Amino acid sequence: MKRILILCEGQTEETFVTRILAPHLQRFEKIAIPKILVTKKVKAGHEFQGGITSYARVRRDVQNLLRDSCAICITTMLDYYGLPSDFPGKETLRVGTPYDRVAYLEQAFSANIGSPRFLPYLMLHEFEALLIVDLTAISGVFNSPGGTLPTDDLKRFSSPEEVNEGAQTHPAARIRKQFAGYRKPLHGPLAVERIGLTNIRQKCHHFDEWLKKLESL
């Protein structure tokens, strides 16, 4: 079995890898192991995990994972939304489609790390894009079949991955506005399990491309 280490932005992504992605990749003779991004350390040596405070911390964690010579690939599950200003490619990023922009940043990320075993993946625009693949999933998790996210504005996007990076309109903000009790680490993985990888891959092309690469390693 081939080992893949996945640097995750937080607990939600870690759960997603453990409960959904790892069982899928096991069928391709891959072992997917999540590693949560370490945000800071205190003098006692305890680590606080989750979230991106600076690119330097991301780079440090990727380099630490690359020291594992038994891993055939080091990859990431980090949100495109809210990337720090010092992230590679940010200063030279030009206007384009979300897919153009994320590809540009991933290429810059890869060049900065400089390892053939590194496969960067940035989620467009964040983990919650996977949830709005099927708007009934969150309602089911909250046991409120009559309530769902407003769809009129979403219809103008051709893919959930294109919803978007506005402060009040990114996917998580939309979900929190409709479901005040939404807790990402709890409700996110439950909703994704209801939706299923097949549906997500059909509507989230950037995610699908990443998963195909992992399957083919």
Residue-wise pLDDT tens digits, 53-63: 899 999 999 99
What pLDDT, on a 0 to 100 scale, did the predictor assign at position 49?
Answer: 52
Domain with CATH 3.40.50 in the chain: 2-126+205-216
The domain made up of 2-126+205-216 is a member of CATH 1.20.58: no
Distance (Å, whole) CA 185 – CA 12: 4
Beta-ladder partners of 44? none
| Cα 206 to chain centroid, rounded | 11
| pLDDT band for position 93 (cuts 50, 70, 90) | very high
Distance (Å, whole) CA 7 – CA 37: 6
Q: 98-113 and 55-66 helices cross at what angle (nearest 10)? A: 60
Residue-wise pLDDT tens digits, 128-161: 999 999 988 888 888 765 455 666 677 789 899 9
| pLDDT band for position 45 (cuts 50, 70, 90) | low
Is the pLDDT score of 215 beyond 90?
yes
User: How confident is the model over 89-109, as a mean pLDDT?
Assistant: 96
Give the chain's mean pLDDT.
Answer: 91
What pLDDT, on a 0 to 100 scale, did the predictor assign at position 44?
Answer: 47
User: How confident is the model over 105-131, as a mean pLDDT?
Assistant: 97
Is the pLDDT score of 42 beyond 50?
no
Residue-wise pLDDT tens digits, 64-81: 999 999 999 999 999 999
Model pTM score: 0.92
- C-beta of residue 93 within 8 angstroms of C-beta of residue 107: no
